[in-house]
Structure 1
Amino acid sequence: MPVVSPVLVGPNTMSTAKARDLGTTEGRRRLTALLSAAREEFVVDVQRGAGGRVAHARFADHLDELIRQIVDAARTHTETPVAVAALGGYGRRTLCLQSDIDLLIVFDGRIGRPEERFVKSVLHPLWDLRLTVGHQVRVLKDFDQPERDNPEFLLALFDARLLAGDEAVFEPAQEKFRGSSVDCREEILEALLQLTEQRHEQSNYTIYQLEPDVKDSPGGLRDVVAARILLSFAETVTSDTMDRQRLDQAEDFLLRGRSVLHLATNRNLNVLSHDLQERVAERLRYQGAQPQQRVEALMGAYFRHARNVNRALDRAHRAAGPSARDTTRVALGLNLELTADGIGFVDRQQAAGDPASWLGVFEAAIDRRVPVSDDALSLFETYAARYTPLDYLPSSAERQRLRRFLRPRPGLYARLSEMHDCGLLPRLFPEFQAISYRVIRDFYHKYTVDEHTLLTVRGIERLLSPAQRSRERFSSLLGELRSPGLLVLALLFADVGKWKDDNHAEESVRMVQTVLDRLEVTPEGRQDVEFLIGQHLQMSRAAFRRDSEDPAVVRQFAALVGTEERLKMLCLMTVADVEAVSTETLTAWKEELLWRLYVDTYNHLTLGYGDEMIERGQAAVAALQATRPDDLTEAELARFLEGFPQRYLAFFDAVHIYRHARLSRDIHPDEVHLFLEQKGEVWELSVVTLDKPYLFSNISGVLSYFGMDILRGSAMTSPAGLVLDIFQFTDHEGFFRFNPDATPQFEKLLQDVVAGRQDVTELLQRKESGFRHRRGPRRVSPVVNFDNEHSQRYTVLEIVAQDALGLLYRISRVISRHGCDVDLVLISTEGNKAIDVFHLTKAAAKLSEPAQMALKEDLERMLEEGYETH
């Protein structure tokens, strides 16, 4: 029986003899030269800003030729029909300089030793070329059923492209994994939507990232691919030619940016970081007198393309879904209708000339919990610039409607985002235009100023149905507000002053005046909005940077807010503002601090506060004595409590107070009695000892040595010299989690350090010299500031510095060297910036000005140089 030769893909550019010499030095040189020439050609394109779709496709073509040569040489190892295909981005011919080479090898028959030798002969030359290769090996019958537990592979198969081998093997496989059957299409669609949802959740469902991943972020290259796959599944064509052109343009822009990132880093890195944005802007020829202007032009272009991709993806999703077949139109009156696409206009031409009717589309969309139709959004995009705010709000009736529209309700964030994306929001409120796409480069915020603003509204909206039990308490506050729309109004304009680099709260108050005039806000409502905007940073500062359990701090904050209503609104505004910074910012710990400050301030406004120091006869002490356990005597408990600050009773419950009293028994010099307790993610260390120099710094140093992130530390000393130090921290490096004997190790080192048998400075220096803790370039200039007015009893020292291992230890050691006592320290970390606030006394009094200056000089020297010398 004659043997039929298989059909091979690609030009056979080599003789059989040459194909077999790829394992020789000459053969390897030939492959290296081919790859180098391809890369050099790509680099030239990138350097002139032309590393887009055409350059990627040309680079992929060169790699095709290289792989065909390798496959041709490997065919001598097996007679089994085989096909080699490109997957994913390589299959789409969008191959970048450092992209993975994803291959699929399919055999039409059993895989034995000859087939294994074939696979090795294909992969090893690629690995020798230092290429990153992802490969999948299958037999043809494997494609009879989709791999439901491997969604990434399912999607990669969708773009498979034959490189070399037998078409007779590839074509039936492609027919199966391209989704020819209904079941397979549903599997691919489910995988696509699942992976897209996961990616979007990681980016907080917003395209407006300050440092976006051009591949994975919403609106990035993966969304371009997702939109095209969904459109290929659509039973009806709802995407016009312009939409497809915008997808092509966005892809070209994103690929050009990605190629610069790969060239600049020599890695498969796709994050458009602050450090690389200037370089990308320069390569892509964006104009501007200053680098920042070129970066703003680049990021403006990025956000426009990402928005187009995001909208195209939404449209494609609807087109591929079951609702795409629904052609029902429901008339709603006032020229509005409901379709499968959302709320739109019956008569588009009439609507274009009647801007006062446009708000009705968004009202109807919120009421029915559906989006605004693409057709309506396109109309607004086309005609919005023709009109002034007065055209949109010609009478008091329209202004009242807009005020009602801003009440927190499900869908408010989505509708405001639609307003903003189509250009209507900045036409209604020109004041908002100043922060559109505004980028503030720091290592704390993750989103543009305008998107941060809208995310604060989303935060309030989510409190209507809180996902976490801890948020239910804030949700109850929202339900108690008399005018919740004023809170949303304040959130929308709290940051408009960030168009300037000066005091943005003050500028925002100035800018909101015209908004309040335009909306005819009542005098009382106006005062509330001005207050919320002007003071919107104060609660976070009091909670995170001050001792919020100090009665003086609570008194000052209560005097600032004045009323229960303003306290509730400011509390909710702070929660939403902190949460909108990033998904990691509003930790459970910060949430708890805000709630405690709210409760204490509310109590102060309604019930008043007690004396600052604990006294034997007060009601709280009497209650503790009445319920004390038998093993504690009345005198023992009274002696322990005497001289401690009043906040101690507010901070700890009876169980903890009795425990601390027991720890104080039989304490001797250089001894440490401690109790370690885990509360969720936060650990609490209670230490009782006798007062001695450097005590607080030594304890914080031990915590740092074991990799703990200290959240808060407080120190209380009785007139008899008894010290109670409390530290809350998280086990960042998993020391307690991964080490069975962690607690005795920790206790022993703490005892040795306090007793002077071990130098914690030496331990920290040794640890910092290790690779994991080696300090990078300094990005935060240290600031040391004293405040003698904020507290009646303490000098408040605030230090801003670059976060580093043992920072709190080094600072507190300098403080101790100056004879100062640390009564409380509050720690806050914003990106790589540490903000540590110390409440200090010296000889039981506030620090004098000369003492402050001397301490400041030493602290600044230490922060500049590292470890102090002593």
Structure 2
Amino acid sequence: MTGPVAADAGLAARPATPEDTGRAAAIRHALATVDAALAQRFDSDAQADIDRLLRARADAVDTQVRAAWRDCIADDAPLALFAVGGYGRGELFPQSDIDLLVLAEPDTQVAYAEALARFFALLWDAGLPLGHAVRSAAQCTQAAADITVLTAMLEARPLLADVPHLHALQAAVAPSQVWPAGAFFAAKREELRLRHARYDDTADNLEPNLKEGPGGLRDVQTLRWMALRIVGTGDLESLVAIGQFGADELTTLERERRALSRLRFGLHLVAGKREERLRFDYQKLLAERLGHVDNADNLAVEQMMQGFYRSAALVLRIGERLLQRFEEQIEGEATPVAINEAFELRRDYIAARDPDWPRNAHDVFALFAVWAAHDEIRGLHSQTARALAESLTRVPAFQQTEPALRERFLVLLRGPHPVHALERMARLGVLGRWIPAFSKVSGRMQFDLFHVYTVDQHTLAVLRNLARFASGIADQRFSIAHEVWPRLRKPELLLLAGLFHDIAKGRGGDHSELGGDDARIFCSMIGLSEADTALVEWLVRQHLLMSVTAQKQDITDPEVIHRFATKVADRERLDHLYLLTCADIAGTSPKLWNAWKDRLLADLYTTTRLALRRGLEHPVAGAERAAETRAAAQAMLTAFGIGDEEIAALYARMPEIGFQRGRPDQIAWQAASLRGAPVGETRVRARVVGEQGGARSSGERASALEVFVHSPDRDGLFAAIVATLDRLGLAIQQARVLDGPHATIFDTFEVVPIDPRCPPSVDEVERRLAEVLAGPLDLVRPARRAQPRHLKHFRIAPQIGFDNLADGRTLLSLVCTDRPGLLADVTRAIRSQALRVHDARIATFGERAEDVFQITAIDTDGRDRALDETQQQALRDALLACLEGDRR
């Protein structure tokens, strides 16, 4: 609707007169006074009718627009003025656009072009966010070929127009002229689908869009537009009278629409501008403005967001039913096709045949069993969906029902497509009734950058990942998951662990322990054996064990593997825990899983399985591990065509500790990299994570790389490498720094691209690192990047700890707010204290960086030693200075 009137009328707007300038100022002042009063009403009365506030603002704008019109347009002018779009509905939020349509024949448009230009200019000068168009009835029909323009005109409300003008406009955009009901419905449904896909098909993201996101206000408006085109009225109450909509459904939809409208009204107030996305910048401010208060279990912002997510879920659920009914209205009822004595297909939707369905909870469980057995079914028929919603109170909590119903649930888990059944039960509200603890985490968000989804949506994402593993189809993102899954004795036990692993979040205390208690009670009551119950309980209690071990400890250390294997105790637990850990990490955020984490967990799984097979009473010693690695790497090098004498010579140039800590393929790759290089020459090599033997394609790019640097040792080398990798757009996940013979270093870095869309190539990494290491290291500086907007809302007080180890090194642990270039700055601070880095494990959890370094000071005789208290304090001060600089 927006655009200069000159485009319609052929004349440019004239300069404002002093009289018009004064009039514009008066309009601005009048509306500002109204807005201030409405904001006060909004803040002072949590029960204030949001529809009254929206209507009051529309009325206030109506008054000013009509007055401006009369100032500019003669009373007898053959023109008609309409409010369209949201303004036409009478829903005017504090920062909403004011969309106007002037209806006039072409000759009239020319005759009144100057007056219309003055009118629009007056409103613009008054500060109104104006969108406008001047069209004849025929031009309206032409413009309505754009369905967005048509939609705005469907809600036209006369401001200064007589009945003939209104009828002319309605006739111009009638279905007989443009967009018949069927075509309109199909186009709007596709528009809705694409809009949902644009927002990742879920309302459960960290900064949801209240207007355009799934389950947002636009979804409600779309239903009204469809009703207006298909039934002839945008008043959803009238759909109740004709049986198209249930009174309970209308009540629920209107309640959630008002809740969403209140959020949007408040968002416009705290943002002070047109803003539809509930950004971190505004979440805490809005929660406070809405009266939410932090409590022991839930932050105020989390309470507000949970309300939004639940509202959005209900809008989606009801909208799905109404869309289906509109489809039937257009296409007509199809002949039912019986599935069995209880259910049938209507237009490929499953429906109950009994008009009084469901008579009990057994009928409800039977629905999901039949649906899972016929997974190709399009969905649940709207009548049956409504009947299910009305009878949810008949579904008892698992503690309050007889064993037969609990057995039916267990049969669902053991039947076909169990994850699809659980997803459907969750979406339709059944799972929350059956397991009350699940309803408490439905819509529950965590105010951080690590958990992208609400707890219930994360849980379902974990279950979907497990279903992928069960498919038997190899997924390159999970290198061995499809091999491990067939080893499971009872896959339903892993599904139960996935269902319960986060179910106790938000209760206070350790959610793993509380969830383990819940899992034990549930599994016992549904009839699992003691052994099966114990397995599920252990998995829930220990679901973070493998992730923490892999990401924070050195899994090439035999002692670490032995400790982990001792906790796991048997291969059945290991199989289940590995799959649950992969599914959990990948289900936390789409950006969290990468090839490095895949290999890390696969390596931990493989080495632990070997330790369990060997027997925990026979832990692997360092020398034994080194000998096994030497032999395995030698076999690879021999297959590559390298003779035994050359292999021995290459091994002699490598650090002995590397054979204890490295993988055979890694040792073989590094040894092959040294071929032809004189002692003292720098060698830089990179390869895609997962490659064997060092073979690669020139220019290859990947989601994770392993970078090997062999060079004469010198001060600042580690810091220079870290800064260069940072400049290349690579985030270090793990670093191993080993001292080799002849005063050389063997550094290995596991890296992932900061921006996966444009990772540097293998050749680019090798070339750039080699260039930097050939020059003076003092000139290498970290890249400076702007800090992401959202990080300022998640400040973490730095935590710095020191622990002197038995091997003469100091363990430095650092927890702080993550930011671009953090690691490069930290290594510079370490270098400024003349310290050496020997090992680094880098972990990032959303906004939280948790990094661990093994460092030493250099004694007067050049030997490494642990830091004393004075050196620890000096390093602490240097790190705090580096980190505190981020706050300024």
Are 1:804 and 2:801 counterparts? no
Question: Which residue of the other structure, out of 720, 736, 740, is the alignment partner of 2:742?
Answer: 720
Shift of 1:175: 4.4
The answer on whether the counterparts of 1:86 and 1:103 sit within 8 Å (CA) in structure 2 is yes
Shift of 1:781: 2.3
Are 1:522 and 2:565 counterparts? no
* 1:506 corresponding residue in structure 2: 513
Mapping for residues 215-230 of structure 1, pairs under 5 Å: 215-230=211-226
* 1:98 corresponding residue in structure 2: 95
Provide the C-alpha distance between the structure 1 equivalents of 2:101 and 2:744, rounded to a whole number of angstroms. 71
Shift of 1:689: 1.9
The 1:616–1:274 alpha-carbon spacing in structure 2 relative to 1, beyond 3 Å, is closer
Mapping for residues 772-811 of structure 1, pairs under 5 Å: 776=792, 779-785=795-801, 797-811=812-826
Larger mean Cα displacement after TM superposition, 483-492 or 341-350: 341-350
The answer on whether the counterparts of 2:138 and 2:172 sit within 8 Å (CA) in structure 1 is no
Unmatched 5+ stretches in structure 2: 1-13, 232-241, 688-698
* 1:12 corresponding residue in structure 2: none
Are 1:620 and 2:618 counterparts? no
* 2:402 corresponding residue in structure 1: 394
Question: Which residue of the other structure, out of 700, 712, 717, is the alignment partner of 1:690?
Answer: 712
Three-state SS of the structure 2 residue aligned to 1:724 is strand
Q: Which amino acid aligns with 1:215?
A: K
The answer on whether the counterparts of 2:448 and 2:847 sit within 8 Å (CA) in structure 1 is no
Question: Which residue of the other structure, out of 257, 263, 273, is the alignment partner of 1:267?
Answer: 273
Are 1:865 and 2:871 counterparts? no
* 1:363 corresponding residue in structure 2: 369
Mapping for residues 537-686 of structure 1, pairs under 5 Å: 537-602=544-609, 611-613=624-626, 618-625=631-638, 627-628=640-641, 637-641=650-654, 643=656, 645-646=658-659, 647-650=661-664, 652=666, 657-659=671-673, 661=675, 664-665=677-678, 667=680, 679-682=701-704, 685-686=707-708
Shift of 1:486: 0.6
Question: Which residue of the other structure, out of 429, 446, 464, is the alignment partner of 1:458?
Answer: 464
Provide the C-alpha distance between the structure 2 equivalents of 1:164 and 1:710, rounded to a whole number of angstroms. 65
* 1:13 corresponding residue in structure 2: none
Shift of 1:199: 3.6
Provide the C-alpha distance between the structure 2 equivalents of 1:734 and 1:451, rounded to a whole number of angstroms. 26
Are 1:730 and 2:753 counterparts? yes
Mapping for residues 24-173 of structure 1, pairs under 5 Å: 24-48=20-44, 49=46, 50=48, 52-68=50-66, 86-102=83-99, 108-109=105-106, 121=118, 124-134=121-131, 153=149, 155-161=151-157
The 1:190–1:483 alpha-carbon spacing in structure 2 relative to 1, beyond 3 Å, is same
* 1:11 corresponding residue in structure 2: none
Shift of 1:575: 2.4
Shift of 1:537: 0.8
The 1:712–1:379 alpha-carbon spacing in structure 2 relative to 1, beyond 3 Å, is same
Give the CA RMSD over aligned residues.
4.8
Provide the C-alpha distance between the structure 2 equivalents of 1:547 and 1:110, rounded to a whole number of angstroms. 82
Three-state SS of the structure 2 residue aligned to 1:217 is coil
Three-state SS of the structure 1 residue aligned to 2:505 is helix
Provide the C-alpha distance between the structure 1 equivalents of 2:628 and 2:303, rounded to a whole number of angstroms. 64
The 1:163–1:561 alpha-carbon spacing in structure 2 relative to 1, beyond 3 Å, is farther
Shift of 1:389: 4.6
Shift of 1:783: 2.8
Shift of 1:477: 3.7
Q: Which amino acid aligns with 1:26?
A: G
Shift of 1:206: 3.9
Shift of 1:816: 4.8
Shift of 1:489: 0.7
Provide the C-alpha distance between the structure 2 equivalents of 1:690 and 1:142, rounded to a whole number of angstroms. 78
Three-state SS of the structure 1 residue aligned to 2:737 is strand
The answer on whether the counterparts of 2:302 and 2:446 sit within 8 Å (CA) in structure 1 is no
Question: Which residue of the other structure, out of 699, 702, 706, is the alignment partner of 2:721?
Answer: 699
Provide the C-alpha distance between the structure 1 equivalents of 2:575 and 2:752, rounded to a whole number of angstroms. 29
The answer on whether the counterparts of 1:707 and 1:732 sit within 8 Å (CA) in structure 2 is yes
The answer on whether the counterparts of 2:836 and 2:855 sit within 8 Å (CA) in structure 1 is yes
Provide the C-alpha distance between the structure 1 equivalents of 2:497 and 2:271, rounded to a whole number of angstroms. 42
Are 1:428 and 2:434 counterparts? yes
The answer on whether the counterparts of 2:520 and 2:536 sit within 8 Å (CA) in structure 1 is no
Q: Which amino acid aligns with 1:780?
A: I
Instruction: Give per-residue Cα distances to partners, 1:340-388, cap 9 Å, x unaligned.
Output: 6955555566844x43443212212222334455555656655555675
The answer on whether the counterparts of 2:144 and 2:173 sit within 8 Å (CA) in structure 1 is no
Q: Which amino acid aligns with 1:360?
A: A
The 1:706–1:666 alpha-carbon spacing in structure 2 relative to 1, beyond 3 Å, is same
Instruction: Give per-residue Cα distances to partners, 1:88-130, cap 9 Å, x unaligned.
Output: 4333332211223445677754999999877865654444444
Instruction: Give per-residue Cα distances to partners, 1:713-738, cap 9 Å, x unaligned.
Output: 33333132222334424254999879
* 1:484 corresponding residue in structure 2: 491
Provide the C-alpha distance between the structure 1 equivalents of 2:364 and 2:512, rounded to a whole number of angstroms. 31
The 1:774–1:329 alpha-carbon spacing in structure 2 relative to 1, beyond 3 Å, is closer
Three-state SS of the structure 1 residue aligned to 2:850 is strand
Query: TM-score with structure 1 length normalisation?
Result: 0.80
The answer on whether the counterparts of 1:786 and 1:797 sit within 8 Å (CA) in structure 2 is yes
Shift of 1:435: 3.6
Larger mean Cα displacement after TM superposition, 269-278 or 619-628: 269-278
Shift of 1:478: 3.4
Mapping for residues 746-785 of structure 1, pairs under 5 Å: 751-754=774-777, 756=778, 758=779, 760=781, 767=784, 776=792, 779-785=795-801
Larger mean Cα displacement after TM superposition, 611-620 or 857-866: 611-620
Instruction: Give per-residue Cα distances to partners, 1:511-565, cap 9 Å, x unaligned.
Output: 2221121012123322321221122112222333334455554444444434444
Three-state SS of the structure 2 residue aligned to 1:321 is helix
Aligned residues: 830
Unmatched 5+ stretches in structure 1: 1-17
Provide the C-alpha distance between the structure 1 equivalents of 2:392 and 2:304, rounded to a whole number of angstroms. 24
Provide the C-alpha distance between the structure 1 equivalents of 2:365 and 2:568, rounded to a whole number of angstroms. 34
Shift of 1:674: 6.7
Q: Which amino acid aligns with 1:227?
A: L
Provide the C-alpha distance between the structure 1 equivalents of 2:773 and 2:790, rounded to a whole number of angstroms. 24
Mapping for residues 254-333 of structure 1, pairs under 5 Å: 254-272=260-278, 276-277=282-283, 279-281=285-287, 283-284=289-290, 292=298, 298-299=304-305, 301-322=307-328, 325-326=332-333, 328=335
Instruction: Give per-residue Cα distances to partners, 1:418-467, cap 9 Å, x unaligned.
Output: 54466543443345455455443333223333333233223323445679
Provide the C-alpha distance between the structure 2 equivalents of 1:316 and 1:774, rounded to a whole number of angstroms. 37
The 1:784–1:198 alpha-carbon spacing in structure 2 relative to 1, beyond 3 Å, is farther
Shift of 1:213: 3.0
Instruction: Give per-residue Cα distances to partners, 1:815-870, cap 9 Å, x unaligned.
Output: 456665434433232222112233556789xx99974866664554445432699x
* 2:690 corresponding residue in structure 1: none
Identity %: 26
Provide the C-alpha distance between the structure 1 equivalents of 2:244 and 2:849, rounded to a whole number of angstroms. 51
Larger mean Cα displacement after TM superposition, 649-658 or 264-273: 649-658
Three-state SS of the structure 1 residue aligned to 2:849 is strand
Larger mean Cα displacement after TM superposition, 238-247 or 160-169: 160-169
Q: Which amino acid aligns with 1:810?
A: D
Provide the C-alpha distance between the structure 1 equivalents of 2:306 and 2:787, rounded to a whole number of angstroms. 38
The answer on whether the counterparts of 2:634 and 2:647 sit within 8 Å (CA) in structure 1 is no
